[in-house]
Every structure is written in structure tokens, then in C-alpha cells.
């Protein structure tokens, strides 16, 4: 079992669901990223996604796009990210997953990228612009190194194709909640819980929902049907001014936000509610 497999096995045994924040590496700098990773782990997050800034984001909304731009404008590079994560990863008791464009993987070389990412402390990667049908070589290289390549399913993915994607995904299946780009939303599609439930009945792979998850109510609604919930823009927005505010103040705010989500996730209502 990979480290991600072990995480979800432990969570299932205890009846808990994963809280999975997304952050942008290097926003505002690599040192803060290390402090942020430690803070998120201390406040009950189970797995952390680390976005590798790229000049042409694939499905990211304005909040995450702006964070990528800030990091790139300050000169962050892949080497800096691996070095910063590598310094803090041994002290973080949760898996880390890189989210990056395949252009970055291709430039480094798939096998070399996996070797470097794993050495830095990453347990897997999400490559949103790599089609599942073309992911074979990278997935095979990952399997050889106990490094999970996580695939995405979107609301427009035909169900037969969604099942094929689930068969090749490792670690968990990333279920995109809405059509479009990332970003906070006041409501989620009413059919989302039913769609996730349908998928869970057909795969043993953990299903984690992302895009638009921003409030405690979203968490309470989806907790009964999802194995994990991914929170990105709502968190990245709270970090946007970390370069001009006291960093301890920003980290405290992040900790309080995560605490609220963790508490809502642990409430675990007995029956799924309609998304609203």
C-alpha cells in the first residue's frame, strides 16, 4: 500500500473523512509554504495538495491564477519548491500531493519528476491536463515507485468513461464538483451528492470532491457521500496578502478556518442533504 492508500484505509476504519486543502507553492515565498504545510497538518488536515505554479493554468479560477502569478513573479522555481517541501515534509505526518501541468513533468522527464517529487516528500501527483488515455507511461512509472497518479472525473464525463478512469487512478479519484474553473461558490449542483454516491457504489477507490468547496455547509452536505473534501480557493484567498500582513496572523486565520471545516466534517450527519 502507498502512503495515500494507508491514509484512506485508516480513515475508513475510524469512520472519518479526509479534509484536503490545496495551497500554491511559493505564495508568497517558499519559506511561508513550509510554515503553511505545518500549520495545516497541525489543524487536522489529512492530505495536502500543493499546486506547482504554471504560467498557463488549466482549470484554475481567478484566485488560484493570481496566486500562481504572484509566486512566478517572485521567481519561484520547481527546484525551490522541492527544496522547501523536502525541508518540512519529514515533520508532517500527512501525505502531500503535487498538482502540476504535464508540461512541467515532460520538461523534467516523467521518471525523473517522480524521483525528485518523492525524494522531496510527495506521495503522488494530480496532472489535470494529462488525459487518462495518455497517462499510461507516467502511471506505470509511479506504480514502480509507490507514487500515485490521481485522475479526475468531471460532471461532463460520460459514466462509462468515468468508470474506466477510476480503474486507472491510484490513491483516490478526484471528483470535480462543477463544470468550469475552480473558485468559491455559494451553492453546489443539487445532483452532486447523487452523482458521487453513484460513483462510490461502483469503485472501491476513495472519491474526493473538489472545486467550489468553501463553507462548513458544503462540507456537511457532502461528508456522507464523499471520502474526502478538497478546499482550494477559499483557503488560497486567505493567504493572498501574506506578503504584507504579519505571517503569524495569516497562519492563525488559516488555522481557525480549517478548524471550522474539520468540525463540520466530523459532525457526519446520518443522511446526505441536498446541495444548496
What is the Cα–Cα distance from 64 to 96, expressed in whole angstroms?
Answer: 18
Out of 60, 148, 184, 227, the active site residue is 60
Identify whether 35 is a catalytic site residue.
no
Q: Which of 162, 165, 215, 221 is nearest to 192 (CA)?
A: 221
Out of 46, 49, 184, 227, the active site residue is 49
Identify whether 49 is a catalytic site residue.
yes
What is the Cα–Cα distance from 273 to 249, expressed in whole angstroms?
Answer: 35
What is the Cα–Cα distance from 186 to 274, expressed in whole angstroms?
Answer: 14
What are the residue numbers of the active site? Answer: 49, 60
Amino acid at each position: 500500500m502507498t502512503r495515500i492508500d494507508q491514509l484512506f484505509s485508516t480513515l475508513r476504519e475510524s469512520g472519518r473523512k479526509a479534509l484536503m486543502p490545496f495551497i500554491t507553492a511559493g505564495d508568497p515565498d517558499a519559506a511561508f509554504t513550509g510554515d503553511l504545510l505545518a500549520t495545516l497538518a497541525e489543524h487536522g488536515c489529512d492530505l495536502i495538495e500543493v499546486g506547482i505554479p504554471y504560467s498557463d493554468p488549466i482549470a484554475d479560477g481567478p484566485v488560484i491564477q493570481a496566486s500562481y502569478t504572484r509566486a512566478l513573479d517572485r521567481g519561484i522555481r520547481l527546484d525551490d519548491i522541492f527544496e522547501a517541501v523536502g525541508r518540512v515534509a519529514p515533520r508532517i505526518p500527512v501525505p502531500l500531493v503535487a498538482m502540476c501541468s504535464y508540461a512541467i513533468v515532460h520538461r523534467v522527464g516523467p521518471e525523473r519528476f517522480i524521483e525528485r517529487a518523492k525524494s522531496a516528500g510527495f506521495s503522488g501527483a494530480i496532472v489535470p491536463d494529462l488525459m487518462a488515455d495518455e497517462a499510461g507511461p507516467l502511471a506505470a512509472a509511479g506504480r514502480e515507485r509507490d507514487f500515485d497518479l490521481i485522475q479526475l472525473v468531471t460532471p461532463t464525463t460520460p459514466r462509462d468513461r468515468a468508470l474506466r478512469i477510476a480503474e486507472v487512478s491510484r490513491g483516490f479519484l478526484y471528483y470535480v464538483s462543477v463544470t468550469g474553473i475552480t473558485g468559491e461558490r455559494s451553492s453546489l449542483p443539487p445532483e452532486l451528492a447523487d452523482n458521487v454516491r453513484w460513483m462510490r457504489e461502483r469503485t472501491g477507490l476513495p472519491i474526493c470532491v473538489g472545486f467550489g468547496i468553501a463553507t462548513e455547509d458544503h462540507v456537511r452536505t457532502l461528508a456522507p457521500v464523499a471520502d474526502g473534501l478538497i478546499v482550494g480557493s477559499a483557503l488560497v484567498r486567505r493567504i493572498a496578502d501574506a506578503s504584507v500582513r504579519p505571517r503569524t496572523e495569516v497562519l492563525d486565520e488559516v488555522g481557525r478556518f480549517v478548524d471550522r471545516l474539520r468540525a463540520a466534517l466530523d459532525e457526519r450527519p446520518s443522511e446526505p442533504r441536498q446541495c444548496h
